[in-house]
Amino acid sequence: MALRLVFVRHGLSSFNKKGIVQGRTDDSYLTEEGYSQAKLTGKVLDDINFDAIYSSPLTRASETAKTIEKSLNKNYDINFDENLLEVNLEKWSGLTIEEIKNRYPDDYLNWKNDPENLTLKNKDNKNYQPIKDLYVQAKRFTDDIFLNFKNKEENSILIIAHNAILRCLILSLINKPKRGFRRIQLDNASISVININWDNDLVKAQIECINQTSHLGKNIPSNIGNSRIILVRHGETDWNMEGRFQGQIDIPLNENGKIQAKQASEYLKVIKFNKAYSSSMKRPFETAKIILNKADLKINKIADLSEISHGLWEGKLENEIREKWPKLLNDWHQRPEKVIMPEGESIRDVAKRAISSWENICSKQEDGDITLLVAHDAVNKTLICHILGLDCSNIWMIKQGNGGITVIDIFKNTEKDNIISSLNITSHLGGVLDPTAKGAL
């Protein structure tokens, strides 16, 4: 990893508390609760040695940044960057949602359903597109960051800003998926992490986590859908630790994997699951049983959620595979959608069967359902790509740690996109950053 970007949304503001739209106005200030959230965020980030801090200059973000900085293990100069300003909503700023609905009903509907194509009038009565403009602003920020940090050793940068600009920053780093703006959630003072590597001049981003809120005493974000599915990757196996390709060889959990499952169970103990599904393989099924902690709930096994078949690669270390299939292994790392494993599957095969199973599960969701789903690295990555609006060729953009928790809010209205309310939360396994074994895929 060459560059770690740690994104933090500002703490609760006065406008957040009152349900007033903020946009680019600086009339909104950090509340007492917002300061408390910022202190908690600084405390949990203290273990990371940052090389720079950037913040929006707007008061609610700058005060969050200053409060966080005071809690860190050394003193930093905060760089206040106008490319981190919040979305410009012009006349909407300072209005409640109800006022916007009443005054601008058509525009508000577009804002909720298709924000990337929303067009508003600016103060000069000229048309502009706030989210498209924000994506341009986000690219200016990342271009400047990459220019400054590309050729350096491993660095970590802390970025404190606002809901919309942070969404645009995160989404622009993963190829700006269509309709992506409404597919993720960022709570006040939440932490999201993206790791950046370079292949010559090509930027390669991987989401380590999105919307981590456990440091705020809130393990799981509030439900914003009609029902919810909690997607978990199975706990660790000996082959994960050794870096062997497992695929469909039915390797059980090791002792650490069982501990990870227990830690996930403890983390989710306030959740009352009423449905449960698992891959038909041992490691996810055992993880699901441990998470449910002897609850009287049937775990439905689904064979189509089994891990990718690596064929002749199964049981082998990466260096063993490289000796016999160097080009194919390189293609797998660079263009996974082009590869069919020798006597195994392609990632498109996995995506087809996994998404079909996912859609079947979603079709059976009823209001208030909280469903546990435990599967595998490749399976979970294809599902998350699907939910984000990405093609399965982008699986390397998604991290799934052993015992990692992803929360998806499901809507009864099939025209609404499901939302990833948090992605790959591993704080129950130790700290902000994912501590799990790299494994092999």
321 φ, ψ to 5°? -70, -40
CATH 3.40.50.1240 boundaries in the chain = 3-215, 227-429
Q: Is the pLDDT of residue 1 over 60?
A: no
Note the CATH number of domain 3-215. Answer: 3.40.50.1240
Helix or strand or coil: residue 232?
Answer: strand
Give how far the C-alpha of residue 72 lies from the chain's centroid of Cα atoms, to the nearest Å: 24
Q: Report the alpha-carbon distance of residue 243 to residue 176 in Å, rounded.
A: 31
pTM score: 0.97
In DSSP terms, which residues pair with 157 in a beta bridge?
A: 5, 52
pLDDT score at 437: 85
Q: Hey, what are 99's tokens?
A: 């006022």
Q: Hey, what are 200's tokens?
A: 């010559």
pLDDT score at 100: 96
Q: Report the alpha-carbon distance of residue 93 to residue 440 in Å, rounded.
A: 48
Q: Hey, what are 62's tokens?
A: 């700058």
Specify the DSSP class assigned to residue 408. Answer: E
Where is 147: in which H helix or E strand? helix 130-149
Q: Which of 142-156, 274-288, 414-428 has the lowest mean pLDDT?
A: 142-156
Q: What is the pLDDT of residues 184-243, one digit of tens each?
A: 999 999 999 999 999 888 899 999 999 999 999 999 999 999 999 999 999 999 999 999
Chain position carrying tokens 């393989």: 281
Q: What is the pLDDT of residues 224-235, one digit of tens each?
A: 999 999 999 999
Neighbours of 311 (CB within 10 A): 15
- Residues catalogued as catalytic: 234, 376
Q: Hey, what are 301's tokens?
A: 């096994």
Which of 271, 318, 301 lies closest to 422, judged by CA? 271
Domain 227-429: which topology? Rossmann fold (3.40.50)
Q: Hey, what are 164's tokens?
A: 């919309």
